[in-house]
Structure 1
């Protein structure tokens, strides 16, 4: 992908090289008006969350991560130590929680909803470096 310079917004931010995917994603979502009831989908998990969450993120890469498209990012300054994890949810006895609703809160602040599979596994979540992902079990958090 061709590399471009994206001017960041904010007094403490600097210019940074971003790939076309992150640049276009940022240009689309940063210019959206406030839409409290609008939702977007994370394409990796199929879960919906408020578009205002994406609008509030400060970079195109954070936006692509929340939307589930960061795997296609080719930003030069993106950390090389990407983590791609899936979790198996169990009860206190160690039994897998099959077909159970959960909410994952990603490092970007985005919340994605899902249901464990027939083996109690969540969807896959990617992060740049070691970050916490919080899993809430048994409900669909708004």
Structure 2
């Protein structure tokens, strides 16, 4: 692992080293030219957002998180007691509930919005230590 040269203004974590996923993600996306009309996709939630937001992030981990694949990061996973939670939404007959808007509420009150995938799965939600998360169906991002 290489020494971390990126600083995050997006979250409160600090790390001595970074994994290849974070390093490569940063090296690719930080060098893109400005593209004010381009959209990026979060692979887990299915949400689109301005691509320039990714390009301006200060770390590869923040970029991977925005793009929906930070769960594969090795440099953040090993530090601390983190839990990686993903929910699968099913109807009363046990069938998957695809393409459904939902909101996840953390104990702190923070809200995350998303759309279930084709198998009714939500994005992964990472918490420090065990925490109870609430999932509300049918809520759209305001």
Alpha-carbon offset, residue 103 of structure 1 = 6.5
Task: State the superposition RMSD in angstroms.
Answer: 4.1
* TM-score normalised over the length of structure 1: 0.57
Q: Look up the match of 1:123.
A: 122
Deviations 1:56-111, CA, capped at 9 Å, x for gaps: 3221111111212112211168533223335699xxxxxxxx77435779xxxxx7
Q: Look up the match of 1:27.
A: 27
5+ residue gaps, structure 2, are 9-13, 90-96, 106-111
Q: Look up the match of 1:49.
A: 49
CA distance in 1 between partners of 2:33 and 2:136 (Å): 30
5+ residue gaps, structure 1, are 90-97, 106-110
CA distance in 2 between partners of 1:16 and 1:77 (Å): 13
Deviations 1:19-74, CA, capped at 9 Å, x for gaps: 11000101111122222221222222333222122223221111111212112211
CA distance in 2 between partners of 1:77 and 1:9 (Å): 18
Q: Which runs of structure 2 are paired with 1:65-84 in the superposition (5 Å)?
A: 65-75=65-75, 79-84=79-84
